């Protein structure tokens, strides 16, 4: 069966420090991978989307970047965090074809102080 791992679960970082959140998927190959940010009372916002190694689409302009160095690994990064980067970040995957079903990781809560 497929599983998705996301870490760290919680992170407290000072403004201006770098960020790296990692996500890996097991039990499937060539998944589509996603990074979402969840703000309280505002649902989910898609940040990045990837259909393959090295292929990243950014959905919104921001202070963050994403990379996919391996087929089942997706990394969310920042060189210098802003206060506004605080939030709950969710990684997800879906099959490359078929209808829409996303499987989410457990999330990473980032607090920027």
| Distance (Å, whole) CA 81 – CA 11 | 12
Q: Are 71 and 93 in contact (CB under 8 A)?
A: no
Per CB under 8 A, the segment of 13-21, 69-77, 79-87, 96-104 that binds another protein is: 96-104
- Distance from C-alpha of 18 to C-alpha of 11, rounded to nearest angstrom: 12
How far, in Å, CA of 93 to CA of 28, rounded? 10
Instruction: For the CB of residue 90, give the shortest distance to another protein in the complex, in Å.
Output: 6
Q: How far is the CB of 16 from another protein (least distance, A)?
A: 27
- Peptide bond between residue 8 and the one before it cis (omega within 30 degrees of 0): yes
Query: Is 46 a binder of another protein (CB under 8 A)?
Result: yes
Is position 56 an interface residue for another protein (rule: CB under 8 A)? no
How many residues sit in the footprint of another protein (CB under 8 A)? 26
> Can you tell me which of 65, 67, 73, 109 binds another protein, judged by CB under 8 A?
109
Single out the residue of 47, 81, 92, 112 in contact with another protein (rule: CB under 8 A).
Answer: 92
């Amino acid at each position: 069966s497929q599983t998705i791992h996301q870490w760290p679960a919680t992170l407290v970082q000072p403004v201006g420090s770098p960020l790296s959140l990692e996500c890996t998927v097991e039990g499937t190959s060539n998944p589509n991978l996603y990074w979402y940010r969840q703000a309280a009372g505002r649902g989910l916002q898609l940040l990045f989307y990837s259909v393959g190694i090295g292929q990243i689409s950014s959905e919104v302009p921001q202070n963050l970047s994403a990379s996919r160095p391996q087929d089942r690994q997706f990394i969310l990064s920042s060189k210098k965090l802003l206060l506004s980067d605080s939030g709950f970040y969710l990684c997800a995957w879906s099959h490359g074809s078929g209808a829409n079903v996303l499987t989410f990781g457990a999330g990473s809560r980032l607090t920027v102080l």
